[in-house]
């Protein structure tokens, strides 16, 4: 029964559900790391290094000029004005170059394409500044004033220490500035040749090494910070995309679930409608069968009675053909009467509630055998049975079950002496009854067919009957939510089994 909306795209739905599986924290972390190639990450770090290098360059140049003026003023008292002016001019030119570079940078849009250029340009400016301050180690070094020499060493050390804050984001720039600033002063102290100046030279050199180590450590920390920031950003981007994708998939899944729910509701409504229609149809059919079979009783009695009167009063006046025709009428009327009786019994099943009571199946079997006494004697059947249980059931229906199954066993006998056995075994909450015989048997391909209405495997001339008996048995058993089946082979007898709950319906 096709139902609109029920044919959902199963493969597409399974694919979407599979795509929505949580990738897990390890996968997302790896995705964050692999979201940017190493070269791309290096270029992004270069951009941030350049931005940090040029952030305070202008302020640093102002401080540099101020420190230069103080140093030149102090040292001029021991050397005179000419060396101080020459060195100040050098510092001024270097400062102007670096300020021009900074202004040009401010006018340029920094991106990954030009970051390396601006970083190299800053390296060049740092080298110029280091050379200018290194020149102070010669030009502003008073040979006769140790106090002024100490002041020069102090200022140069302060410049190296201060450069950590402005140049260390690109370690090569800080290194070239510090080395060019310190080494000329070291050489100048060593040129004096006495122990005090040797000690000063080694102290400046040791301070240089310490600044380089500290600067390199700070540089690595800054670089690692940049790297982690970009990885975190990539991870956040991945998580954001994953969340959007998951939200989309969840929305699609919810839409699919809503569609399935609507389809299920529609299917349930259709099934309920069809079930109700089928129930009404069955009820009407049962009523029709009952009324039809009941109403047929009177004309059948009329046919039987008048055919009997005709035979009694006019037999002597009829020829052989006439008497044969009256026999056909009798036979047809009897068969029709049996058919109507069976149809009436079938239609009555389910028409009213079961009359449940304690039924002694062994007693019912004895009553059935008494009713079939003539048939048993004619067939010379040997009938045995196991101890049978007491059930809570409808006695009339149990009687009908035994009667139909035993009648069939007697009817469909073979040339061998007929033996029938009735048994019952307990299986869980059910009693399983069996009626076995050594009759003609049934081909397995007819196992299902024989329980249908009016289904016959043989002609009326071979085995008389209406074809309703097994259908009647099936309907009785199903009223108790049991089942009926057969095990048989053609020519080797049959075993009919049916189950009845121990507690009845």
For the chain, what are the domain ranges?
Answer: 38-192, 354-501
Which pLDDT band holds residue 47 (cuts at 50, 70, 90)?
A: confident
Cβ atoms of 397 and 476 closer than 8 Å: yes
User: Does the structure show a pLDDT above 80 at 284?
Assistant: no
456: tokens are: 């016959």
Mean pLDDT (whole number) for 187-195: 88
**How far, in Å, CA of 469 to CA of 341, rounded?**
11
- Written as six digits, the tokens of 83 are 């060396």
Q: How confident is the model over 400-404, as a mean pLDDT?
A: 86
Per-residue DSSP letters for 368-395? HHHHTHHHHHHHT-EEEE----EEEE-H
**Is CATH 3.40.50.1010 the classification given to domain 354-501?**
no
Q: Report residue 289's pLDDT band, with 50, 70 and 90 as the boundaries.
A: low
Smallest CA-to-CA distance from 133 within 191, 193, 206, 204 is with 204
How far is residue 52 from each of residues 166, 187, 292, 421, measured CA to CA in Å?
A: 8, 33, 104, 104
Average of pLDDT values for 118-143? 91
- Given a cut of 60, is residue 19 above it in pLDDT? no
Judge whether residue 1 has pLDDT over 80. no
| Residue 438 reports pLDDT greater than 90 | no
Please say if the pLDDT value at position 243 is more than 90. no
Q: Is the pTM of this model over 0.75?
A: no
**pLDDT for res 33:** 46
**Pick the residue with more confidence: 126 or 396?**
126
pLDDT band of 199, cuts 50, 70, 90: very high
Q: Residue 169: what pLDDT?
A: 85
Asked whether the predicted pLDDT for residue 278 surpasses 70, the reply is: yes
- Does the pLDDT at position 13 exceed 60? no
| Residue 396 pLDDT level (bands cut at 50, 70, 90) | confident
Mean pLDDT of 118-127: 91
Residue 258 to residue 279: CA distance in whole angstroms: 31
Q: Angle 109-110-112 (CA atoms, 0-180°, nearest 5)? A: 135
Mean pLDDT, residues 204-226 taken together? 90
The answer to whether 494 and 409 are in contact (CB under 8 A) is yes
Tell me what pLDDT residue 175 has: 94
Buried b (16+ CB within 10 A) or exposed e, 338-353: ebbebbbbbbebeeee
Structure confidence by residue, pLDDT tens digits, 78-112: 888 999 999 999 999 998 998 898 899 888 888 88
């Amino acid at each position: 029964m096709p139902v609109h909306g029920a044919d959902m795209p199963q493969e597409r739905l399974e694919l979407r559900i599979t795509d929505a599986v949580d990738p897990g924290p390890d996968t997302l972390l790896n995705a964050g790391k692999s979201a940017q190639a190493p070269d791309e990450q290096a270029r992004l770090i270069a951009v941030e290094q350049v931005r940090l290098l040029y952030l305070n360059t202008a302020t640093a140049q102002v401080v540099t000029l101020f420190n230069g003026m103080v140093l030149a003023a102090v040292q001029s008292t021991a050397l005179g004005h000419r060396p101080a002016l020459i060195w100040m001019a050098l510092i001024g030119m270097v400062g102007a170059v670096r300020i021009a570079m900074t202004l040009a940078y401010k006018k340029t849009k920094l991106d990954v394409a030009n970051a390396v250029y601006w970083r190299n340009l800053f390296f060049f400016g740092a080298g110029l500044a280091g050379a200018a301050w290194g020149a102070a180690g010669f030009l502003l070094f008073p040979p006769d004033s140790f106090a002024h020499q100490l002041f020069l060493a102090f200022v140069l050390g302060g410049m190296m220490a201060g450069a950590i804050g402005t140049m260390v984001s690109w370690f090569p720039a800080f290194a070239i500035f510090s080395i060019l600033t310190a080494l000329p002063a070291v050489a100048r102290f060593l040129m004096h040749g006495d122990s005090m100046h040797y000690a000063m030279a080694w102290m400046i050199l040791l301070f240089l090494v310490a600044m380089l180590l500290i600067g390199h450590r700070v540089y690595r920390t800054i670089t690692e910070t940049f790297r982690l920031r970009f990885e975190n950003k990539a991870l956040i981007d991945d998580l954001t995309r994953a969340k959007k994708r998951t939200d989309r998939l969840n929305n699609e899944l919810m839409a699919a679930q809503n569609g399935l729910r609507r389809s299920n509701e529609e299917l349930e409504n259709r099934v309920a409608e069809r079930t109700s229609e089928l129930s009404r149809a069955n009820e009407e059919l049962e009523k029709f069968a009952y009324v039809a079979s009941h109403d047929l009783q009177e004309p059948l009695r009329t046919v039987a009675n008048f055919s009997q009167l005709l035979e009694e009063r006019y037999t002597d006046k009829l020829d052989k053909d006439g008497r044969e025709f009256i026999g056909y009428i009798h036979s047809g009327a009897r068969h029709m009467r049996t058919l109507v009786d069976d149809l009436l019994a079938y239609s009555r099943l389910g028409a009213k509630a079961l009359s449940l009571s304690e039924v002694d199946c062994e007693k019912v079997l004895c009553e059935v055998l008494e009713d079939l006494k003539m048939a048993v004697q004619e067939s010379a059947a040997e009938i045995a049975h196991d101890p049978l249980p007491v059930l809570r059931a409808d006695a009339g229906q149990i009687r009908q079950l035994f009667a139909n199954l035993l009648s069939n066993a007697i009817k469909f006998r073979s040339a061998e002496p007929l033996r029938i056995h009735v048994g019952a075994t307990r299986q869980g909450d059910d009693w399983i009854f069996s009626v076995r015989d050594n009759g003609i048997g049934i081909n397995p391909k007819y196992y299902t067919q024989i329980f249908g209405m009016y289904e016959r495997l043989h002609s009326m001339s071979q085995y008389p009957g209406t074809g309703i008996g097994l259908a009647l048995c099936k309907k009785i058993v199903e009223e108790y939510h049991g089942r009926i089946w057969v095990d048989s082979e053609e020519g080797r007898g049959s075993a009919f089994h049916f189950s009845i709950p121990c507690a009845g319906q």
